[in-house]
Amino acid sequence: MNGGPVTGSLAGVRVIEIGTSVAAPMAAQILGDLGADVIKVERLGTGDDSRSWAPPHWDGAGVTYLSLNRNKRSLALDFKDAAGRDVLERLVSGADVLIQNLRPGALASAGFTTERLRELNNRLIYIEMTGFGASGPQAGKPAYDPLLQAYSGIVSITGEDGRAPARVPVSVLDIGTGMWAALAVYEGLRRRDQTGQGTHVELSLLQTALTWMAPTLMSVMAGNAVPQRLGSGLAGVVPYGAFPSSDSWVFISAGNDSAWKRLCRALDAPELDEDDRFRTNVSRASHRPDVTESLSAVTVQFTSAEIIHRLEAAGVPCSPVNTVDEVVVDEQVLSTGALRSLPRHDIPGLTVVNPPMTFDGSYPAFDVPPPPLGADSASVLEDLGLTSDQITRLVECGVVGLDLRGPTDSDGEGT
């Protein structure tokens, strides 16, 4: 990529993450990538739940944790204990942002209500994430990404007609809520610039789902039919989806009648275009199963490479259906610089995925791999003014946990 390292605009902003799993860690990682000092407050002993989500793992560490927790410092702390609560109060008092996605009401029951947080720091941007939102009959229920995919209607339109509904096999609601949270932090900081006051931001997986589903919801509210499950298809465009080759699959999109004609010629199948059922997109949409069956019978005679070569030459949109192991070595993927080495002392080969934007040709500069549990407890407490004797007492009392290997620096060596 062009240009030198980019210093993030959030340098000097302190973020406290009391998060687990995906949504809050995702939000805090985005902010850390953009320069914020992120302190991840974790349970003693186990830490973030995703640490133990393995397999898959990388040298014994859960891959989900590794993918969502770079550019953070880990403080293992029991803030339900009086001494631990005092530590967290000190952290909150000096922070700019607090992000949490604990079970609804858990942080408040530990003494950190919205009102108490405001008393501690009236400039705090407080980001609170839940599953179902702040009000309504489901408000107090814990929630998980696949459950909200089902509740919001996403699962009902995913998969193939006649088969069981399916979830999107990516945590789209957790990750999406994390992205919205990061955007909300920027808005909160801009508002604070204007008013001098912090703000309480509430987000939920349900509201993220409804945002992603907006066109579908609006279509139904306008009186259109409830969508069918079309697999990888798209209502109103046929053919559109994955078609078999002799060695794999190819995704094909013929969005108009001209593209359909070119498709038929490119695959030496003029008889498809001559079929009255297939002449126009409207008629093809009415005979979707027949189009799929007939076109599949043609595509399966070619290799994926042959189909891609023919269709690209004919100007028909198409793509190989790459498997994940093919993606990580793909020339185009590698040329973007999206995959980046970020070694840790115990995971020397660790590679992460860069945030999806560059600034004047360069990705945001960062060099801190996901920390072991409690790796930064001592340094965080020292920042708060605690002496080594005070830190030792907190450790001996079981209020603070330390990783004796210490924090991890930019070249992956423990310090």
Active site residues: 174
Taking only Cα atoms into account, the Rg of the chain, rounded to an integer number of angstroms, comes to 26
The answer to whether the beta carbons of residues 348 and 412 sit under 8 Å apart is yes
The answer to whether the beta carbons of residues 198 and 188 sit under 8 Å apart is yes
97 phi, psi to nearest 5 deg: -140, 140
Q: Which of 87, 76, 91 is nearest to 375 (CA)?
A: 76
Q: How many CB atoms lie within 10 A of CB 17?
A: 29
Report the alpha-carbon distance of residue 80 to residue 78 in Å, rounded.
5
Element at 392 (helix H, strand E): helix 388-396
The answer to whether the beta carbons of residues 204 and 132 sit under 8 Å apart is yes
Report the alpha-carbon distance of residue 144 to residue 163 in Å, rounded.
23
Element at 83 (helix H, strand E): helix 82-93
What one-character-per-residue DSSP string does 223-277 give? TPPPPPPBTT-BTTBSSEEEEE-SSSEEEEE--SHHHHHHHHHHTT-HHHHHSGG
